[in-house]
Amino acid sequence: MSGPLILGIETSCDETGVGLVRGCELLGDEVASSVDQHARFGGVVPEVASRAHLEAMTPTVRRALDSAGVALSDVDAIAVTAGPGLAGALLVGVSAAKAYAMALGKPLYGVNHLVGHVAVDQLEHGPLPKPAIALLVSGGHTSLLLVNDLATDVVSLGDTVDDAAGEAYDKVARLLELPYPGGPPIDKAAQRGNPKAIRFPRGKWGDGTYDFSFSGLKTAVARHVEDADRGGEPLVVADIAAAFQESVVDVLTRKAVDACVEHGVSTLVISGGVAANSSLRELARQRCQEAGIELRVPRPRLCTDNGAMIAALGAEVVAAGLPPSTLDLATDTSLPV
């Protein structure tokens, strides 16, 4: 084993994640989720998430150390999500990371959550070729990034202008009376449906940008459901799910592949909770193959929020020789890459 032992702490949304990493080696990865507490609200309630982080933090650190077979005193540096994310949730993680850094006398590194989603791929597939394009798709973000260097040079190419892709899944699931989070039940229903049964709009398709928009699509689904309720065409949930899903994954994969071609990049990483989607994985695989692009999708466990991704990015930052954060490290709910 080589390189410093990095403890990563993630609390940007509803997962308390703690990871232990050396270089590209994953040693420990424990996640405590408050998702069940948010389910009845159909989305994450920030106050509830913050309280859950506070309760879960110390036990999750303990579990991660135990599973990695290391002691807290073995840790060489602490990396923590400084943003973007929910204000109160981020504060819990950063406060805990400061306390560990102070108590251990080890350096603290505040890192970017979005870049962590890309860095985590190294734990599964080894060092990321430079440059790479990354498509991050989750409940909180939908971003296309040009990654020249994980620690020092990541450029945002585009973002969602309204809802995140996962958020669109969650909202459409609610319209279809499917449970929260909506991604898995829509993915499942879509497999029985006909994606051509309805033609839903493709937001920002062919607009010459790498931005995304999903709110028009959500409104189109809502109208379709309202029409059915008023006695129009009967509601076929599987068809709506399949047509909605096709609209989302068509735009995501088209823009991601276009970004690779335009920037002469031959590696695409797809990460975030929506990367678990079967149709997204399949279409990305086909389109990358056609374009001669290597597709990297970490296993679902690493795609969703976790502490290992923050530790993986921390390892890169330490290896790049960047200065540690000071103990007045602040959180930033909209931290740019």
Binding-site ranges for ligand KG4 (CB under 6 A): 13, 138-140, 166, 169-170, 181-184, 187, 272-274, 276-277, 304-305
Estimate to the nearest angstrom the gap between the alpha carbon of 23 and the chain centroid. Answer: 21
Strand 132-137 with 267-271, pairing: parallel
Smallest separation (angstroms) from ligand KG4 to the CB of 265: 23
Coil, strand or helix: which one is 319?
A: helix
What are the tokens at 315? 């390892």
Contact call for residue 316 and Zn ion (CB under 5 A): no
What are the tokens at 243? 């047509």
When CB distances are held under 5 to 8 angstroms depending on the partner's kind, the choice from Zn ion, ligand KG4, none that residue 214 binds is: none
Which C-beta is closer to ligand KG4: that of 76 or that of 124? 124
Which C-beta is closer to ligand KG4: that of 276 or that of 295? 276
Residue 197 DSSP code: S
Which C-beta is closer to ligand KG4: that of 60 or that of 277? 277
Strand partners, 26: 21
When CB distances are held under 5 to 8 angstroms depending on the partner's kind, the choice from Zn ion, ligand KG4, none that residue 181 binds is: ligand KG4
- Residue carrying the six token digits 């985590």: 120
Residues 119-158 that bind Zn ion (CB under 5 A): 138
Which C-beta is closer to Zn ion: that of 240 or that of 308? 308
Q: Is 194 annotated as a binding residue?
A: no
Residues sharing a CB contact under 8 Å with residue 59, sequence separation 6 or more, in sequence order: 32
Q: State the amino acid at position 97 in one-letter form.
A: A
Which C-beta is closer to ligand KG4: that of 98 or that of 202? 202
Question: Of 4, 3, 2, 9, whose CA–CA distance to 111 is shortest?
Answer: 9
Smallest separation (angstroms) from ligand KG4 to the CB of 5: 25
The beta-strand segments (E) located in 214-276 are: 267-271
Q: Is 265 annotated as a binding residue?
A: no
Residue 128 DSSP code: P
Q: Is 95 annotated as a binding residue?
A: no
Q: Is 125 annotated as a binding residue?
A: no
Binding-site string for Zn ion from residue 171 to residue 210, where x marks contact by CB under 5 A and - marks none: ----------------------------------------
Q: Which stretch binds Zn ion (CB under 5 A): 153-161, 182-190, 237-245, 301-309?
A: 301-309
| Binds Zn ion by CB under 5 A, chosen from 29, 170, 250, 305 | 305
Q: Is 138 annotated as a binding residue?
A: yes
Euclidean distance between CA atoms 280 and 273, whole angstroms: 11
What are the tokens at 298? 């970490």
Euclidean distance between CA atoms 298 and 317, whole angstroms: 21
Cβ-based burial of 148 (10 A; exposed 0-12, middle 13-18, buried ≥19)? middle
Euclidean distance between CA atoms 72 and 34, whole angstroms: 25
Smallest separation (angstroms) from ligand KG4 to the CB of 155: 21
Q: Is 277 annotated as a binding residue?
A: yes
Which C-beta is closer to ligand KG4: that of 101 or that of 269? 269
Annotated binding site for substrate: 136-140, 170, 183, 187, 277
Annotated binding site for Fe cation: 113, 117, 305
